[in-house]
Each structure stands twice: as structure tokens, then as C-alpha cells.
């Protein structure tokens, strides 16, 4: 029996007693308990990095003057000098920029730019080749006719702003070649032109339906392809018409285009072109009134084609393709019809 009091440990040590602590009230989440001082409380919302980080090492400091320059207002654009404003090429989709034709309409100017004398001279040369080929024979006429049909297909697509459009140009030109072969195989029957045109419209529709483009683009491409093929195929009217009608009509178109390009007012140049075409048709057509009527009739169609090639700020490439070919291509059906009436 030891003399140590009850609850003591050996070795003379006093028993370990846990001091009594006053229980603290339970704090809500995110709230410091009462009576507790947070040594980082003054830095809770003002934490700062001591030293350089990756961003501060890699990014150069920005001068205050540069910030002021970037955020300052740009000076207002200066008005162009009167008499010679230059504009860029017209655009179709995907660009909100105002096109040259739209700017011209907004400023009260005409979007029509006529091809001029050089394309008119080329039209006259091609018309003379058609007239000479018709005088020599069918296959001699076929060579300049194929050139005319190719220029028509390429010029129409470029006139509509669709470039490059190799598939559409090739499809329209192929339709013209098929029509020429059908004309030669059918002894130059005009039914070959109508049949080829119907087949090519259906073929163009099927090809556009297989396209993965947007519906608006497919419709626009369909109309351009059908129109290019129709104009190129309709130019085959020279091959279906009589040789005398082709000679008189091609010469009349050549003379009318040169007269239309003269530096005269529009109304006066149109009258001069029609009179010159009637005179050429009368002279080449055997000094008969039917020749004069044929010349004036094909000149009306040629002037319409010339007007179409001048529309909507066309480029120089358009002038030397559509501007050369459309007057002759538009006159092709008239050469056949008026030639039959004159006969």
C-alpha cells in the first residue's frame, strides 16, 4: 500500500490535468468566430504578388503615351479630290463594303460604263470573220462562231461577278458545241438549237441541285449557267441561217457597234448606229429594202447586248469578252428569223 493519494502516478509526479476551456459559439461558414484576430485580415482583399511572374517577364511594359494614342479618336476621313475618285473592284457576298455601282447610285452617277472603241473594233473584226466565213462555206463559218460562243460564255459569268467559274463556263460552252454538232447533223435545222437548249437547262438544274452551296448561291449559279448556255447556244443562229443573211447581218452589227462607240450623245449615237446598220444591210443585201430591214433589226438586238455588257461598273475584262461577244450573240437569232422573212 502506498502513501500516494488516489489518482496520482508513480515517480512523484503530479497527475496530468486538462485545463477547462470556455466553449466558443459555433460560427457560420465564412464567418470568423468572436474573439479571434485574423493576422491576414488586412490583406484579404489586397493580395499582391511579390516578385515577377511569367506574364510580367514576357510582356513588355506599355507606355502611357501608346495607350493614349490607341484610344484616341481617329481623324475624320478627308473628302476625295473632285474629278478623279478611284474605287476598288466590286464585291458580291461576304463583304459589307459598298460596291462601286451602289456608290455611284447613291451619288447620283450612272453605273453604266460602255465598252468603248477598242471592244467595238474587235466586234467589227469578229463580225467580218463571220461574214467572210459564211461566204466561204459552212465549216469556214464554224471557226469564228466557236470563238464567239466561247467569249459569250466567259463574258457572261464575269459580267455577273462569278469568277473564276470554270465549270459554268465549260458547261455553257459545251452546250454551244453540242448545238453546233446537232445543227450540222440535222442539215442546219433550228430545232437542234431548241432541243439542245432544253436539255442544257435540265442538265444545269440537276448539277445545281447536287451542289452543297447555300440555296441563294445555288439559285444564282443556276440562273447564270442557264443564261450563259442560252446565249452561247442562241449564237448558233448564224449557222442555221442562210449565207446571205449571215453576211448582211454580221456586217450590219459590225458597223453599228463602231458607230455606237463614236463620241456622241447616247441618243444620237443610237440613231447613227441604226442608220448605219440599215445602210450596211441595204448595201450587202443586194440593194433591197429587205436587206435594210434585216440590218436595222439585227442592230437593235446588238445594241441591247451592248447595253447589257455596259451594266453595273463592268471591268476591262468584261469589256473585252462580253462587250465584244454579246452584241453578235444577241443578234444571232434575229439573223435567222429576219433572213427567213426576207427570203
Q: What is the pLDDT of residue 212?
A: 76
Q: What is the pLDDT of residue 342?
A: 74
What DSSP string runs through 14-82?
PPP-PPP-PPPPPPPTT-PPTT---TTGGGSS-----S--HHHHHSPPPPHHHHHHHHSPPPPPPPPPT
Q: What is the pLDDT of residue 68?
A: 45
Per-residue pLDDT tens over the stretch 196-230: 999 999 998 888 888 777 777 788 888 888 999 99
CA 208 vs CA 175, 200, 211, 212: distances in Å: 16, 12, 5, 9
The answer to whether the beta carbons of residues 333 and 237 sit under 8 Å apart is yes
What SS3 class is residue 284?
Answer: helix
By C-alpha distance, which of 193, 179, 146, 176 is closest to 337? 193
What SS3 class is residue 255?
Answer: helix
Distance CA 153, CA 173 (A): 6
Residues of the chain with pLDDT under 70: 1-83, 85-100, 163-164, 343
What is the maximal distance between C-alpha atoms in the chain? Answer: 162
By C-alpha distance, which of 248, 217, 291, 241 is closest to 127? 248
Amino acid at each position: 500500500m502506498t502513501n500516494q493519494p488516489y489518482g496520482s502516478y508513480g515517480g512523484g509526479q503530479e497527475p496530468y490535468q486538462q485545463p477547462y476551456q470556455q466553449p466558443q459559439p459555433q460560427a457560420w461558414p465564412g464567418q470568423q468566430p468572436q474573439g479571434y484576430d485574423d493576422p491576414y485580415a488586412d490583406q484579404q482583399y489586397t493580395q499582391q504578388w511579390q516578385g515577377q511572374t511569367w506574364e510580367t517577364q514576357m510582356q513588355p511594359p506599355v507606355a502611357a503615351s501608346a495607350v493614349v494614342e490607341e484610344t484616341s479618336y481617329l481623324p475624320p476621313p478627308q473628302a476625295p479630290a473632285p474629278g478623279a475618285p478611284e474605287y476598288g473592284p466590286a464585291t458580291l457576298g461576304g463583304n459589307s463594303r459598298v460596291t462601286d455601282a451602289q456608290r455611284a447610285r447613291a451619288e447620283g452617277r450612272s453605273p453604266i460604263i460602255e465598252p468603248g472603241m477598242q471592244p467595238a473594233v474587235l466586234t467589227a473584226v469578229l463580225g467580218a470573220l463571220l461574214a467572210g466565213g459564211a461566204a466561204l462555206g459552212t465549216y469556214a463559218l464554224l471557226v469564228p462562231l466557236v470563238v464567239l460562243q466561247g467569249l459569250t460564255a466567259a463574258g457572261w459569268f464575269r459580267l455577273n461577278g462569278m469568277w473564276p467559274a470554270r465549270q459554268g463556263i465549260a458547261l455553257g460552252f459545251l452546250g454551244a458545241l453540242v448545238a453546233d454538232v446537232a445543227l450540222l447533223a440535222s442539215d442546219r435545222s433550228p430545232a437542234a438549237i431548241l432541243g439542245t437548249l432544253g436539255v442544257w437547262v435540265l442538265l444545269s438544274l440537276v448539277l445545281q441541285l447536287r451542289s452543297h452551296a447555300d440555296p441563294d448561291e445555288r439559285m444564282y449559279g443556276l440562273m447564270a449557267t442557264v443564261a450563259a448556255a442560252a446565249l452561247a447556244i442562241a449564237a448558233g443562229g448564224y449557222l442555221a441561217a442562210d449565207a446571205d443573211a449571215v453576211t448582211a447581218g454580221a456586217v450590219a452589227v459590225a458597223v453599228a457597234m463602231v458607230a455606237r462607240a463614236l463620241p456622241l450623245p447616247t441618243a444620237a449615237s443610237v440613231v447613227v448606229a441604226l442608220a448605219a446598220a440599215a445602210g450596211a444591210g441595204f448595201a450587202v443585201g443586194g440593194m433591197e429594202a429587205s436587206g435594210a430591214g434585216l440590218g436595222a433589226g439585227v442592230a437593235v438586238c446588238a445594241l441591247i447586248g451592248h447595253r447589257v455588257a455596259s451594266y453595273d461598273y463592268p471591268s476591262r475584262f468584261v469589256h473585252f469578252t462580253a462587250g465584244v461577244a454579246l452584241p453578235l450573240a444577241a443578234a444571232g437569232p434575229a439573223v435567222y428569223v429576219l433572213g427567213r422573212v426576207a427570203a
